A and B are shown apart, each in its own frame.
Chain A
C-alpha cells in the first residue's frame, strides 16, 4: 500500500474537489429517486401536515398533485401543505485524514460517501424549503438546490477535525446539526466528544451523528503477518498473525461505536451508522426519515422541555 503523506492528503482532497460535480450529480440523482420514493410512501395520518386542496393551475409542479383527491372528481387538485417557517440544518462532513481511505478499490472512500450523503441530504432538505448550511469560514447557507455546488465547496472547506471545534462553529438557535464522520479520533474512552457535542447543542440545537465506516473497520479481513500503517505511513501496529488479534479489534470497535452512540444519546441526538459497502440510497432514506421524525416530534419535545 502506498504510504500517505500530508501532501497526499491534500492531493486527495483536491481530487475530491475535482470530482465534486460528479458527486453533486450523484447526490442529486439520489435525492430525486428518494423524493419520488417518499412521495409514493406518503400516507394520510397524524404526521401529515396537510393544509388544503386547491385546483391545479398550469405551472404547478406535478409532484404536488394529489392523485387520490383528483381521482375522485374531474378536476386535478394540488395538495397544499401547511406553511412552515424554514428550519436551518447545518450539515458537516468531517474530512479527517482517516476519511480518505477505503480497504478496497471497489468501495468508495469514506470521504466520498460522507460528501455524497451530505449533499443529497442537503438537496432533499432544500427541496422541502429548508435552509442548509455548513461550517466553513463563512458559514455558507443555501436555500435553493441550484447552489448545491457552492455548498459542496463550502463543505470541503469546513474543519477536518471535531476536536479543534471552538467557538468558530456557531449554529443558530434551535438549528439542527448533522455531523458525518468516522469519529475515529473519539475511539478511545475519555475522548472529548461529549464536550464537543455539548458545545454544538448549547443553544438548544437538535442534531445527529452519522458514523461512516469502512467494512474493514467493523471486521478487518486481514490475515497473516501484517504491518498496519496509519495515514501518515507510520507503522502503528505489527501483527505476526492478524487472526489472533481480530477478535480483540472487533470488540474494541464495538466499544468505539457504542461510545459514539452513547455520546449522541447523552445529548438527545440522533445516531446513524453507515457502512460504505452498503447502498448509499438506503442510508440517505433512513437518515432523512429520522430527521423528519425528529422535526415533528423532537422539536415539540424540545419546546416541551424548554417550556
Chain B
C-alpha cells in the first residue's frame, strides 16, 4: 500500500480507522471531570436548581484532539515508512553481491546506499547476510583470486564489512564467482534472497551468473539510476594538438561531458566539453593545443566522474620529441623528401622533424639526431656533437649512400669495411629475415612480421659485447640494430638504409612501431635513461576511483606490452623516465554499447535515491505531543487559579534551586587529590624529585631541610619542610625550586611525567639538576634527561645574579667544585630567569646540617649520611650558595638590579 511515497508495513492495522466514528462518539459523550473549587459562599447555593441541564458532553475541541491522538496511534501501529526500499521479498538470509569491478566506481555512492538500505531492511527483519565481491583480488605472491564469500553476518557486522569495500580498477570475474557460489553448499541452501548491485554492461559470465543465482533464490538486480558508462578509450597526439576518444554505452539523449586535462602536479590545464552522440557508442574530440602544453598533460579525466576507467594517463611516449635529420647544407627539400620519405612518415605522427646541417640542428636543441651514411659536416662539429650526446642526446644512424668508410666514433659497434649483400644478383644467399627482438631490447614484445627481408646490411665486428649492444638481429645472428650508451646519451645504428633499397624495414609498419619505442628513450627532461629495463616496476597505480597511489608489493612489474589490467597489474604508470608506460583501463574496455538481457525471473530494479524513513516514531511523537497539549489545556482550564498560584510559587522554587545549586557548586570543588598538594599549596617549600633510592632520597631531604633551616635563620624566607615529589602523581606547580639528584639506576620518566616537567619549566619553574659526580658526562646526561625540553646550557658567568642574590660568591660551592651550568639564553617571557640549573656538586650532601635527626621520618642522624669529606668551611660556603640559589628562585631577576648597584651609586654620586 503506497500513498505519496509512504507505504505501510502492517496495512491491516489501518482497519482500526473504521472504529474512529465510534470512538468519536465515546469521547464526545465522556464529560470532563468537574473542577473542584473552594468557595465558602457556596452554601448560598444550597437548594438552588439549575433551570436547564445540558447533556454531559465533552467540548468539541477536546473530541477532535482526542480523535487525532487515536488516529495517530492507529497509523503508527501500521508502521508507515517513507521511501520504503523493500528489496528482499522472501524471509531468510540474503546473499548480497557487491559489484566491485571497474564499472562500480562511477556508481559507488549509489551502491553503497543501496547496500545500506538492504542492510537496514535485514536489520529490521532480523535476517543474516552473506556478502560476495565480484572482482578478484591479489592472492599469494603472484596469483589473483576472488575473495571468499563472507557470511553469515549480522547486519551490523555486514555493515562494517561493506564499509571496507571499494571498487577496483579491473573487471569483475563473474565466471569465477559462479563457481565460487555453487561450491558453497551452505550458502545455496541458506539463502532466500539474492541481491546483486550491478549495471547493464555485458561482461563474460554475467548472464550465466544471473541464471545460476536464480536457481538458488529469487534474484533482485539493483541498478544505479544513471547507468551511463563512459570510458576514455584513447588519446593520441595530432599535428596541432591531440585527439581523445571516448567509448560509452548507447545513450538516449545527447549528453554533455567535460574532459579535464591535468599536468604532473594535478593542476587542471584545460577543460574540454564534449557532447556524446546518441547515435554511436564512440565519441571523438579534437583538442587544439600548442605542443608544449600538450607535452605537459599527464592525464585526461572526466569531470564529476571518479573512476579509473575515465582516467587516461600518458607515458613517456606522450611527450613529443624534436628530431633533427642531418643533411648537407646544399640539399633541397624535394630530394630530401624522397630519401627520407619513410623516415618522415614513421616519425612525424609522434615528433616534430627538422632538416638541416649538423651545426644548425645542434644549435636548435633537438632531442634526436638522425643521419644516413656518414654524418655530413661532422669534421668541424665533433666536439659539440660528442657533448650533445653526453648530455642525453640520441644519435640514430642509418646506412647511407656512401660508405661509412673508416670513419670511427659515433657508432655503437665497430663496422667492417664493405657491405654485405644477400640475395642480390651476384649472391647465392637468400635475403635474411628479422627474428623476434631479444629481451634486452627496448623493442621486446613487438611482433615481427614475416615479410620483412634484408638484402644488404652493414656488418659489425663481432666484439665481446656485441650481444648486449644488439637490439635486433637477423636469422643468421648478425645484428640489424645496435645501440650503445655514451654517458647520458645513446647512439643507435640501423644497419640498413632508411629507404627501401636495402631492406623492406623502412616501409613496414614495424618501422613505425620501432620509432614509437625509440622516441621516448630520448628523454628531453631526464638525462639519465641509459640503463634499459625490461620488467618495468610500477611507479604509481590507480585505485578504482582513478586516484593515484604509491605502488605496493601486490603489484608486479610490467613485461611486454600492456594488457587489460588485473589485480597484479592495475592501471598506472610503469617504468621510469623514458621508459614510463601508462597502462590505462579504458583502453581495453569493449562492449560498452551492448545492454545485458537478464534471464527471466530476475527482477531488475533501480536503486532509490532516498533513504527509508520510518514514520511510526513521528506518529507516536505527534500523539504524545497532542496528548500533552490536551493535558495542558485541561490543566489550564481546571486550575487556572491553582496554576497561577503555582506560577507564583514556581518563581520562588526556581530561585531557591538556583541558589542551592550555586551554593553547591561553590562548596563542592574538587577534593584535594593528595595531602601533599594541599600542604604544598599552603606554604612555600623546596622539593626534590624522588629517585626511589632510599639513601639518595634521605640525603636530598636532609640537605633541603638543612638549607630551609638556614634560610629561616638568616633570611626572611620561611620555608616549610621539603617535600619529596614524584612527577607522575604530584602537582609540581607549587614548588619554587625542585632539586633533582641524578642517579644511574633511575627509571626513565614516563611521557606524562616528562610532559608535566616540561610544563613546569615552561610555566616559570626552576629545576636544579645535580649529577653528584663532579664531572658532567653528556651522553649519560642525555640518556637520563631524554624527552625533557632542556634549553641550551652555558657556564654561569661569575657575575651572574645567582652569585649576587644574597651573598657575594664567586662559584657554586658544594661538595665538589664543578662549574654551574644554566640557560644560555633564558626566556625573556620568564623574565630572563633561568629555568634549568645544572651541576655536579652534590649540593644536598653539602647542605646537610650536622648532628640533626630528621624529625619527620625518625631517620638516624644525617651525620651518618653525610660524606666525611666535607669540611666546615665547605659546608658554610655550600649553604651560602644554597641561600643564593633559593633567593634566585624566589625573587628571579629582582636582585639583578643589585648586581649593578655599584655602578648606579657611582652614577648618582656624580
A101 neighbours in B (Cβ, 8 Å): 38, 40
CB distance from A290 to the nearest CB of B (A): 25
Contacts of B49-66 to chain A: CB distance below 8 A:
49-54, 56
Chain B hits for A184, CB < 8 A: 40-41, 43
The complex places the Cα of A177 from the Cα of B659 at a distance, in Å, of: 49
Interface residues in B25-45 (C-beta closer than 8 Å to A)? 31-45
The smallest C-beta distance from B472 to any residue of chain A, in angstroms, reads 112
Q: Is B46 an interface residue (CB 8 A)?
A: yes
Decide if B648 touches A238 in the complex (CB within 8 Å): no
The reply to whether A225 and B45 contact each other, CB–CB distance below 8 Å, is: no
Q: Are A227 and B36 in contact (CB under 8 A)?
A: yes
**Interface size range of chain A in the complex:** 35 or more
Interface string of A183-227 (1 = CB under 8 A from B): 010010000000000000000000000000010110010101111
Q: Decide if B681 is an interface residue (CB 8 Å cutoff).
A: no
Residue in B42, B46, B48, B50 whose Cβ sees the most chain A Cβ within 10 Å: B42
> Is B603 interfacial (CB 8 A cutoff)?
no
Residue B660 at the chain A interface, CB threshold 8 Å: no
B644 cross-chain contacts in A, Cβ below 8 A: 104-106
B34 touches A226 (CB 8 A): yes
Partner of B37, one of A98, A226, A249, A256: A226
- Within A285-300, the residues touching B (CB, 8 Å) are none
Q: Does B641 lie within 8 Å of A228, measured CB to CB?
A: no
Give the docked Cα–Cα distance between A245 and B45 (Å).
8
Contact B40 A227 (CB under 8 A): no
State the Cβ distance, A77 to closest chain B Cβ, in Å: 52
| Residue of B41, B43, B56, B645 contacting most chain A CB atoms (<10 Å) | B41
Q: Is B642 at the interface (CB under 8 A from chain A)?
A: yes
A145 interface hit (Cβ, 8 Å): no
With contacts A226-B35, A230-B38 taken as known, whether A105 is within 8 angstroms of B44 at the C-beta atoms is no
Residues of chain A with a CB closer than 8 A to B645's CB: 105
Bound CA span A235–B38, Å: 9
The interface residues of chain B lying within 8 Å CB-to-CB of A262 are none
Known: A105-B645, A245-B45. A240 touches B40 (CB 8 A): no
Shortest Cβ distance from residue A101 to the other chain B in the assembled complex, whole angstroms? 5
**Complex Cα spacing A252 to B48, Å:** 10
User: What's the nearest-Cβ distance from chain A to residue B596, in Å?
Assistant: 74
Question: Which of A4, A230, A240 makes the CB contact (< 8 A) with B42?
Answer: A230
State in angstroms the CA–CA spacing of A225 and B50 once bound together. 12
**Cβ B36 vs Cβ A226 within 8 A:** yes
Closest CB-CB distance, A86 to chain B, in whole Å?
38
Query: Do A240 and B56 form a contact, CB below 8 Å, given A225-B31, A227-B36, A248-B48?
Result: yes
Known: A1-B642, A244-B51. A228 touches B37 (CB 8 A): yes
A261 within 8 A of B: no
User: Which one, B32, B35, B41, B642, contacts A253 given CB within 8 A?
Assistant: B41
> Which residues of A lie under 8 Å from residue B56 when comparing CB positions?
225, 240
Residue A236 lies at the interface, judged by CB distance under 8 Å to chain B: yes
Once the chains bind, are A241 and B37 in contact (CB under 8 Å)?
no
Task: Judge whether A225 and B48 touch: CB under 8 Å.
Answer: no
Q: Which residues of chain B come closer than 8 Å to A216, judged between CB atoms?
A: 39, 41
A162 nearest CB across to chain B (Å): 15
B35: chain A residues at CB < 8 Å are: 222, 224-227
Q: How far is the CB of A97 from chain B (nearest CB, A)?
A: 8
In the bound complex, CA of A216 to CA of B41 (Å): 9
In the docked arrangement, what's the CA distance between A1 and B56, Å?
Answer: 23
Q: Which of B31, B43, B637, B641 is A236 in contact with, Cβ under 8 Å?
A: B43
Contact of B39 among A97, A229, A241 (CB under 8 A): A229
Cβ contact within 8 Å between A217 and B41: yes
What residue of chain A has the Cβ atom nearest to residue B45's Cβ? A237
Q: A229-B42, A230-B43 are in contact. Are A105 and B648 (CB under 8 A)?
A: yes
- What is the CB-to-nearest-CB distance from A233 to chain B, in angstroms, rounded to a whole number? 7
Which residues of chain A from 231 to 270 have any CB-CB distance to chain B below 8 Å in the complex? 231, 233, 235-241, 244-245, 248-249, 252-253, 256
B42:A1 contact, CB within 8 angstroms: no
State in angstroms the CA–CA spacing of A229 and B50 once bound together. Answer: 18
A240 touches which one: B33, B54, B639, B641 (CB < 8 A)? B54
Which interface residue of A182, A224, A228, A249 has the most chain B CB atoms within 10 A?
A: A228
* 11 extra A-B contacts, CB within 8 A, seeds A104-B644, A216-B39: A1-B639, A225-B32, A227-B35, A228-B39, A228-B45, A230-B43, A241-B53, A244-B53, A249-B48, A252-B44, A252-B45
Interface residues of A (CB under 8 A from B): 1-4, 97-98, 101, 103-106, 182, 184, 187, 214, 216-217, 220, 222, 224-231, 233, 235-241, 244-245, 248-249, 252-253, 256
- Of all A-B residue pairs in the complex, the 9 with the closest CB atoms, nearest first, are A98-B40, A244-B50, A228-B42, A236-B42, A225-B34, A105-B645, A248-B48, A228-B39, A237-B45
